[in-house]
Copies of this chain bind each other. A is one copy, B any other.
Amino acid sequence: MINCPKTKDQIKVTQINFKKELEAASKSMIMIHDPKLLIKLIIRMIVRKLGIKHAGMVIYEADQDAYVLGISRGEPGLKIPQGFTRFDKESPIIKFFVTKEYKALTVSRNAIVSDDINRLIWREGVLDKTGGNGIRKLLHDVDEQMRMLNTTACVPAYYRHKLLAILLLGEKNDGTKFEQDELDFFAALASDAAMAIRNAQLFKGLEAEALRNRQLFLRTILVLGSTIEAKDSYTRGHTERVTKYALAIAHQMKDNGSFEFDEQFFENLYIAGMLHDIGKIGVPEAILNKKGRLTVEEYETMKLHTTKGVDIVEPLKLPQVVLDGIKYHHETFIGSGYPQKLKAEQIPISAAIISVADCLDAMTTDRPYRRGLTKEEAIAEIKNNAGIQFRPDVVKAFIELCEKGIV
């Protein structure tokens, strides 16, 4: 559009087309919440549709407290060279646009264009306005930096008086100079783009915060699950191993088509695995660490850890899948387990999976009252107990994992 010869009428056509492009672009911008993708789309539009040889955009990144080249696009050899990617506040172009007195020199232009610079350097009054010779040196530095960046025009974008971004434009395809109406258009585009990018950055920041808090929660669950190991000296690493086995079994059950578990299920199973023995916090160390067989009474106390576990995590309002895993991981397929003697499909699937994982680790670990089995013995034991102690489809997945050598 830019390369039309300019008659009065045709300038109008250009403006209208510009406006159309701008409106279309603005519309799509708001719903794109990935800053990088957004910048890519804007730069692509400028280069493809508006007849510029190449373009780039530097954007303020709060975490680096610097302006960073978001993306650059154009003919090879013409686009902004790799390596020029970070501009701190002392960088000439940035300094020029953030310093009130200097940027005032280009307010009417909405931009700074190579040809303006020499004119500015020798313009009457520049020295007076900016109070010294520094501006001439700065303008020389800006000129040099623009040459290095293959840039013909720099268009700043502000939001609430803060420099958010600078659009760096290469030459026009038709070789003509930028007209004022074109610079005005690019200023409007840069401003819209900067706001959309700021929106996307805030969005991304918030997403990261939500994720960070989620991970902090999950790590706290891990610490909570590990507290029991400080009491029960024979279970070092038990909680994490059981969780690992349980997740592996669940993935195998999904892979072999037994269940359609979603991502949320796996996270819940992780939490249930980490907390399955948390109720043991309420069981005396004398019972947990007893070197002989437990008496009937002591065993009854030990069994309470399943329901105590659910009580302990009550304030967390955890999903039912998690509570089920904690409460019912000692139920058995034939209904001889505790605390509720549930049978077969009555036992929630999270509990049935943790049950196999828990027994595998318990059997292969030395305990106060017996030595651990070998892995092969434990696998055989679990296989033999399919449909008795364990749910058959869980055992099936477990055996498949053993055959693959994963467990």
A: residues with CB less than 8 A from B are 19, 26-27, 29-31, 33, 159, 191-192, 195-196, 198-199, 202-203, 206-207, 209-210, 213-214, 216-217, 219-224, 226-227, 230-231, 278, 281-282, 284-286, 312-313, 315-317
Contact = CB atoms under 8 A, between A and B. Distances in A.
Given A30-B195, A223-B316, 17 more contacts: A30-B30, A31-B195, A31-B198, A33-B202, A202-B203, A206-B206, A206-B210, A209-B210, A214-B216, A216-B217, A217-B217, A219-B317, A223-B315, A224-B227, A226-B312, A230-B281, A231-B285
A228 B402 CA distance: 38
Q: Is the interface of A mostly helix, strand, loop or mixed?
A: helix
A382 to B, nearest CB: 31
Given A31-B195, A31-B199, A206-B206, A217 B227 contact: no
B33 A223 contact: no
A216 B281 contact: no
A280 to B, nearest CB: 9
Contact of A206 (B207, B224, B285): B207
**Copy number in this complex?**
2
Contacts of A286: 285
Given A206-B210, A213-B213, A312 B195 contact: no
A100 to B, nearest CB: 23
Contact of A219 (B209, B230, B316): B316
A269 to B, nearest CB: 17
A29 B191 CA distance: 13
10 contacts: A19-B19, A27-B191, A30-B30, A202-B203, A206-B206, A210-B210, A213-B214, A224-B224, A224-B227, A231-B285
Contacts of A282: 230
A226 B26 CA distance: 52
A102 to B, nearest CB: 25
B27 A219 contact: no
